[in-house]
Structure 1
Amino acid sequence: MSPRRAAGFTLIEVLLALVLLAAGLALAFATLRSTTAVATRGEDMAQASERMRAVHGYLRARLASAQPIVFATDRSTLRQARFIGAPQRMRFVADLPDYLGYGGPYLHDLGADDSGRLQVAFAVAQPDASLEDADLLARGLRAERLADGLRAVRFRYRGLDADNRLGPWQDRWETAELLPLQVKVEMEAVNGGRWPDLVVTLTRSEGGAGGGLLSGGTQPMLP
């Protein structure tokens, strides 16, 4: 055995070995953190996508099953409301899912608030109710949260024009006595991600001319 080998490792060799060990551990931890971050982002994206599909599915089902049932009457004009639509608010009648209601037509008051939350409130449809009684969200009734973390929510409506053709998209549905033919839902998340636009055809729509005159010369009722 040589004198150098019998004396053991030098300090420089020990320090070099420690440096190499530390570098290897740092690389291993960095790889682990990166893998964990990628997996977390993947889970977050999957959850966001699942939430988006669930919200879209709910809105599609509720709007597609909207019924031309009167849920309020303007006491001053006696005009009846079957669908009231604004840029961030919709009110219409549809049956509730079995797990939410007890059957029968329910007024759906769907809207977005300033905190970026999309919510809906329900009440049994009453044709003789006033417009104020049908303002469920403003009355502070218990609302179900559909989605949050939204920066922008926009509802648009489409009906027949004066020539009985499919008209342009409108920010308001001003012919409340009739259901629109189609409703478009546009939503954007706080992080800038835009949800795919949802376009729903109302199967029981009478195809009224949005913002125009109804048959018989009835004027539109503003929401």
Structure 2
Amino acid sequence: MAGFTLLEVLASLVLLALLLIGVYSGLRTATHSVRSGTAAVERIDQIRSAQQFLQRELAQSMAQPISKNERGENIYFQGDAHEMRYVAPLPGYLGKLGPQLQSLKLVDDGHGDASLVFSLALLPPDGSPPKALGDPQVLLDHIRSGGFAYRGLDALGQKVPWSAAWPDGRLLPLLVRVQLQPQGNYAWPLIEVPLRVNPLASGAATGLQPLNAVSGGAR
């Protein structure tokens, strides 16, 4: 029985190598596609979760003091283009701790993007400074641009147009806008959240109930 020549063996090895390269390339492409798809789904879930969290927590803002100004008047809300502070309850077991000082801040990540960072602090009943609760949490990373804006009425009932800074912390804005642009082809819809003030949150006369009563005029 005649055997294979060296040339035939080499040709067979070359064909086998080409076949293995093709199989490997196909597997690599499929693996990359699966990873890219999984990363895209996770990113979309992260963006959707951040949107839902912001809408829920901002809508539950309460008229509870977070500090005082230089005249000793209560401050209920602080906000500028990159940070806002307010009091609201959290859902679930964290809500058992009572209303908490919440902070949302756009922080530079050191790589040209920003991260939306959320932090909590307990408000001691004796009026002492807030106490941080846990470590800050990143709600959304890789943000290319964006910021916060506010709209409402001032202490005289006059309209405050959209502004990158809320001018009077003695009052809560009627609307808070969150506008972000994540990296990549991911959409962030324009979020404008009406703040729902809990009248039981403060026994002081803050003028917040009248503001809510005419909130339609600030739109």
**How would you bin the TM-score normalised by the shorter chain?**
0.7 to 0.9
Structure showing greater Rg: 1
Instruction: Describe the SS at the equivalent of 1:100.
Output: helix
1:149-188 matches, cutoff 5 A: 149-151=141-143, 152-160=145-153, 168-188=161-181
Following TM superposition, the consecutive aligned residue runs of length 4 or more in structure 1 with deviations greater than 4 angstroms are: 125-129, 160-165, 190-194
> 1:170: Cα distance to partner?
1.4
Match of 1:146 among 111, 114, 138: 138
So what's the TM-score if we normalise by structure 1?
A: 0.73
- Give the structure 1 partner of residue 193 of structure 2: 200
Question: Is 1:37 matched up with 2:32?
Answer: yes
CA apart distance, 1:59: 1.3
Figure out how many residues of one structure are paired with residues of the other and give that number.
Answer: 195
Q: What TM-score comes out, normalization by structure 2 length? A: 0.74
Separation in 1, partners of 2:15, 2:55: 60
Structure 2 gaps of 5+ residues are: 198-207, 215-219
Residue 190 of structure 1: how far off its partner (Å): 5.4
What residue is the counterpart of 2:94 in the other structure? Answer: 100
RMSD of the TM alignment (CA)?
A: 3.1
Q: 1:86 aligns with which of 73, 76, 80?
A: 80
Which residue, out of 105, 108, 123, partners 1:111?
Answer: 105
Deviations 1:79-120 (A, max 9, x none): 321111111111111112232242432221222323334121
Distance in 2, matches of 1:153 and 1:38, equals 30
Q: Looking at secondary structure, tell me which structure has more strand per residue.
A: 2
What is the CA distance between 1:158 and its match in structure 2?
Answer: 1.9
* Inter-CA distance 110–186: structure 2 relative to 1 (3 Å threshold): same
The answer on whether the counterparts of 2:102 and 2:118 sit within 8 Å (CA) in structure 1 is no
Identity of aligned residues (%): 30
